[in-house]
């Protein structure tokens, strides 16, 4: 196989930086022709752990090579390799025109983690080969052996402070059902808090202020790594991800790998592995995505908003019947075993060859 230069953001608490770290390390472990071009992008943090195997591959390649990347599509024009492969996630039913033009003009093959993403690309008239390769889980970190018992029944949310993630619906539902219950806690883990003066259209402002009078709602915006995320999941009883849409739903799968009870929606990328046998599924309703996906209004682009009343019912049901739901948790663990970063890398290498 020809040399491959992997371009992307690595040292950031964002999920796509985690994907870059995991895929690149798995590729390096299986092939000596993988090299790395590290970008400094959103929430870049020099202190975030980067495996030495990846660090040693950060270098300029002499001679010909092919590109593999997970980057912002309008920057595809900067790729210099012979063949160009890109990993991409989509979170609504439409692709922005500027993305579509960049993909069709500059990329030879696109790799997506779900059939939902592939269908969206096809509907958006992407005319290059599209390969579906699921993301994975590091089962050495995310596994039920690390689970622990806490003094409160904890609901855990992990995600960005974006409307699409369903934080507003989640906090409203929790307040309606558990606002006066000191035995129950909602722990909201985000990689950052939006800056009011630089607020994007897809970001939710003032989350700490919105929940400040509720002592059983915790906001955590520390930029932490995978082991710390796994530790948070270990101390949770239920992981709640009421997203409008997901390109894949990595944090959902990681919770499943720790045999946690998951509450989530089911229609987009998470449908690769979520079923009503391994999760509690929240009803949702079609909405126009407007400008909460990419900051621009895409005519005809849709998402599905979680039904707050049904979310309330499921959260209360999970609390009152937790012990009886052990079968769903067991099914979640079984499902997660099918997904590893090693398999992801194996399938990517087949495409690259």
What's the first-to-final CA gap in the chain, in angstroms? Answer: 6
CB 339 within 8 A of CB 19: no
pTM of the model: 0.96
Are both 130 and 166 inside the same structural domain? no
The reply to whether 59 and 106 lie within a common domain is yes
Q: How far apart are CA 242 and CA 252, in angstroms?
A: 10
pLDDT beneath 70, residues of the chain: 294-296
CA dist., res. 130 & res. 128, Å (int): 6
Pick from 188, 187, 208, 212: nearest CA to 196:
208
Query: Residue 133 has which token pair?
Result: 């390769």
In a shared domain, residues 272 and 133: no
What dihedral do alpha carbons 219, 222, 223, 227 form, nearest 10°? -90
Predicted pLDDT at 296: 67
- Whether 344 and 23 have beta carbons less than 8 Å apart is answered as yes
Whether 167 and 213 map to the same domain: the answer is yes
pLDDT tens column, 26-45? 999 999 999 999 999 999 99
Q: How far is CA 196 from CA 204, 205, 327, in A?
A: 9, 7, 44
pLDDT the model gives residue 291? 83
Q: How many domains does the chain have?
A: 2
Q: Give the tokens for residue 197.
A: 């003066």
Q: Given the structure tokens 């779900």, which residue do they identify?
A: 114
Range(s) of the domain holding residue 264: 144-336
Q: What is the pLDDT of residue 295?
A: 62
CATH number of the domain residue 72 falls in: 3.40.50.2000
On whether both 77 and 190 belong to a single domain, the answer is no
User: Two tokens at 33?
Assistant: 């022709």
CA 278/CA 333 separation, integer angstroms? 8
């Amino acid at each position: 196989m020809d040399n491959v230069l992997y371009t992307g953001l690595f040292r950031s608490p964002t999920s796509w930086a985690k994907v870059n770290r995991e895929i690149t390390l798995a590729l390096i472990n299986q092939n000596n022709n993988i090299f790395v071009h590290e970008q400094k992008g959103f929430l870049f943090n020099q202190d975030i752990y980067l495996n030495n195997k990846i660090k040693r591959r950060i270098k300029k390649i002499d001679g010909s090579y092919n590109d593999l990347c997970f980057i912002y599509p309008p920057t595809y024009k900067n790729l210099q390799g012979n063949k160009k492969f890109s990993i991409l996630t989509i979170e609504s039913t439409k692709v922005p025109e500027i993305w579509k033009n960049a993909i069709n003009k500059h990329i030879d093959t696109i790799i997506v983690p779900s059939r939902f993403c592939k269908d969206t690309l096809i509907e958006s008239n992407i005319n290059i080969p599209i390969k579906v390769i699921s993301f994975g889980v590091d089962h050495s970190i995310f596994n039920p052996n690390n689970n622990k018992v806490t003094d409160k029944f904890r609901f855990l949310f992990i995600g960005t402070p974006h409307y699409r993630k369903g934080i507003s619906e989640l906090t409203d539902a929790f307040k309606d059902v558990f606002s006066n219950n000191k035995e129950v806690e909602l722990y909201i883990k985000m990689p950052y808090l939006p800056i009011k003066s630089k607020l994007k259209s897809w970001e939710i402002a003032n989350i700490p202020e919105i929940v400040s009078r509720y002592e059983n709602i915790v906001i955590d915006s520390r930029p932490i790594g995978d082991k710390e995320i796994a530790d948070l999941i270990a101390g949770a009883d239920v992981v709640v991800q009421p997203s409008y849409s997901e390109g894949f739903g990595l944090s959902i799968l990681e919770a499943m790998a720790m045999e946690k009870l998951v509450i989530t929606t089911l229609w987009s990328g998470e449908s690769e592995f979520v079923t009503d046998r391994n999760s509690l599924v929240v009803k949702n309703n079609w909405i126009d995505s407007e400008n909460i996906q990419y900051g621009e209004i895409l005519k005809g682009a849709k998402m599905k908003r979680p039904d707050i009343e049904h979310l309330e019912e499921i959260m209360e049901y999970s609390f009152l019947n937790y012990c009886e739901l052990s079968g769903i948790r067991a099914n979640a663990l079984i499902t997660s075993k099918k997904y590893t970063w090693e398999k992801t890398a194996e399938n990517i290498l087949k495409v690259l060859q």
